[in-house]
Homo-oligomer: A and B are copies of this chain.
């Protein structure tokens, strides 16, 4: 990763962590274990790539920083909720996430279910609040776009396909694998890239370009993730690795092997950058992020 990008991503993660800290309920009251677990699952963990996409997208249109940071925090709440639920015993049954015990391990299953539920709600509460934009039409539009990305026809539908694929008699074909990944992880990354354009009331064309950029880096990110799962140690990845191959996970990598997977990821990254052709130098960090997605080691 270039020094500039690393610095910008670190600064953004710190900024968004501060916003999460301010937005999530403080750890007091009888139900403080819920609040503590919500914080554990979101604040200070992960690379906050989705938040970075929101912030950098918003930069293209000169959006008020405070507005963008709130939406970035909301996207991270939504993402964290999905991880907490995906890690549950009835789902992927993972013990380790971001180098720490998963929420149902550190607390219990009931708490983990409620933490995910409450983080999803808090994401919508954050976006809908007047502090997120002076124009309520922007807030309603953001709520709708996030819900469409995250719901039954988006992220949750993708997780359902993933569950079904694991118990299926025959492996998924390439089209089904692509659709699964696009729903499960792609749609939220698309929304993250697009959100800045919604905040900035950008033209439909600009909004679509950012969404398409998000789609391509999302797909490349997924392939890179699968390659890391194959090659990284659990210490490097901060979670269990090597599980996918054993579980017969439906991935591009499983279908075509590492060489073709790498080529495909590179092709997607070139395509992602091409979607930014109409943007000026303010989009350089988005271009650098695209390159980073397939060269990262964790």
Interface residues of A (CB under 8 A from B): 24-25, 30-31, 33-35, 38, 81, 85, 88, 90-91, 108-111, 113-114, 116-118, 120-122, 124-125, 127-130, 135-137, 139-141, 143-144, 146-148, 150-154, 156-157, 159-161, 163-164, 176, 179
Could you tell me the distance between the alpha carbons of A129 and B144 in the complex, rounded to whole angstroms? 6
Show 11 residue pairs from A and B whose CB-CB distance is below 8 angstroms, ordered by the A residue: A33-B160, A90-B113, A110-B163, A120-B121, A121-B154, A122-B151, A128-B143, A128-B144, A128-B147, A140-B140, A143-B143
Once the chains bind, are B120 and A152 in contact (CB under 8 Å)?
no
| Structural contact, A113 and B125, CB atoms closer than 8 A | no
Q: Are B164 and A147 in touch, CB under 8 angstroms?
A: no
Known: A34-B152, A114-B159, A122-B147. 20 other contacts (CB 8 A): A25-B152, A30-B176, A33-B160, A33-B164, A34-B157, A35-B152, A38-B152, A81-B117, A90-B110, A111-B163, A114-B156, A116-B117, A117-B120, A118-B152, A118-B157, A122-B152, A127-B143, A129-B144, A136-B136, A140-B143
A90–B108 contact, CB under 8 A?
A: yes
Q: Which 3 A-B pairs have the closest CB atoms?
A: A125-B147, A121-B151, A90-B109
A172 to chain B, nearest CB (A): 9
Asked whether B113 lies within 8 Å of A91 as measured between CB atoms, the reply is yes
Could you tell me the distance between the alpha carbons of A25 and B91 in the complex, rounded to whole angstroms? Answer: 22
CB of A118 within 8 A of CB of B156, answer yes
How many Å from the CB of A79 to the closest CB on chain B?
13
The answer to whether A30 and B128 touch (CB under 8 A), given A121-B147, A140-B139, A152-B121, is no
Determine the residue in chain B with the shortest Cβ distance to A104.
Answer: B90
Identical chains in the assembly: 2
- Chain B residues lying within 8 Å of A157, measured Cβ to Cβ, are 31, 34, 118
Chain B residues positioned under 8 Å from A31 (CB to CB)? 152, 157, 160-161, 164
Residue on B with the closest CB to A35?
Answer: B152
**Alpha-carbon separation in the docked complex, A83 to B206 (Å):** 41
Report the minimal beta-carbon distance from A169 to chain B, rounded to whole angstroms. Answer: 14
Distance in angstroms between the alpha carbons of A116 and B109 in the assembled complex = 15
Taking A152-B121, A160-B31 as contacts, is the C-beta distance between A136 and B129 under 8 angstroms?
no
Residue of A33, A90, A116 with highest tally of chain B CB at under 10 A: A90
Contacting residue for A114 out of B109, B135, B148, B160, CB 8 A: B160
Query: A148 to chain B: which residues have CB within 8 Å?
Result: 125
Question: Quick one: which of A31, A135, A150 has the most chain B CB within 10 A?
Answer: A31
Which residues of B sit under 8 angstroms from A90, Cβ to Cβ?
108-110, 113
